[in-house]
Amino acid sequence: MEPKFYTQSGFTHKDFASVLNKYNYNLNLGDITAGTIFSEEKDGFLVDIGTKIAAYLPRDEITIYKNQLTTKEIINETREFFILAYNKISEQPIVSIKRLEYIRAWERIKQMEQEDITMNLMVHEINKGGILTLIENIQSFIPNSHIANIQNKSLLINQKIECQFLLINEKLNKIILSNKRAKLKNLRHKINIGQVILGTITKIESYGTFVKIHDMTALLHISEIKKEIKENMKIIVQVGDKIKVKIIHIDEKQGRLSVSQKNL
């Protein structure tokens, strides 16, 4: 999503300054104020926000968006700015667009998290620990443990992945997402506790077996495996085999599904 700038037709930065002076606005750190970018400096821009000394917009504070805007796109634009600091010597206000974009991005993210929505986000990077994507142009992470089909992770680059929020922390600028949560949410009308269902073995570990049910991987813990199979598990069952299991636990918050072979 590209940033938008709004221009008030017929309303110049001089007009705006005269309005501010008329009402004697007192701007403090953290305030949000409107202004007009009117001049380019070596490392930034001058902004008329109605103060006696023009505010300074550092180039690094223009936007959080990957593609930086050109000078032609922002000169004479009237929009809102965040009062970031004041120069101690000159008392010149230092303003930021980026900080304002972060504030508003996080407002939208918190609202989406509260509504527990499902998102389809583009995978732009893969690393050892998981997947990196963007939400409201803020980097987000999906750990390997929360990817439904981890075997195909390398095929997800530049593809969209379905996910839900797992953890957000605005102070740390941290967003953790879960693909498994989204997958499990889609299955809520197809599975239920106590249901007996056919699944496919995808992995066998010492602590249990992983079984694919629909598009979700469930854990068949060693304690829930039939005695006769447990004693000779590697001989009796193999990856790719279909087995009958009973759903015993659905954890929608963590995107986990547990199954059992007992009492079938």
pTM equals 0.75
3-state secondary structure of 100: helix
pLDDT tier at 237 (50, 70, 90 boundaries)?
confident
CB 199 within 8 A of CB 162: no
192-260: CATH topology = OB fold (Dihydrolipoamide Acetyltransferase, E2P) (2.40.50)
pLDDT tens, residue by residue, 214-232: 888 899 998 888 766 666 5
Identical fold between 116-184 and 192-260 = yes
- Mean pLDDT across 137-163: 88
pLDDT tens, residue by residue, 74-87: 889 899 999 999 99
**How many Å apart are CA 260 and CA 248, to the nearest integer?**
7
3-state secondary structure of 36: strand
∠ CA 143-246-227, rounded to 5°: 100
H or E segment to which residue 219 belongs: strand 216-221
DSSP bridge partners of 57: 45
**How many Å apart are CA 196 and CA 87, to the nearest integer?**
69
- Tokens at 208, concatenated: 């249990």
Does pLDDT of 249 surpass 70? yes
CB 100 within 8 A of CB 82: yes
Domain ranges of the chain: 13-101, 116-184, 192-260
R_g (Cα) of the chain, nearest Å: 27
DSSP bridge partners of 135: 138
DSSP tag of 252: T
Position 233 scores a pLDDT of 58
Give CATH for domain 13-101: 2.40.50.140
Domain 116-184 = CATH 2.40.50.140: yes
**How many Å apart are CA 201 and CA 211, to the nearest integer?**
4
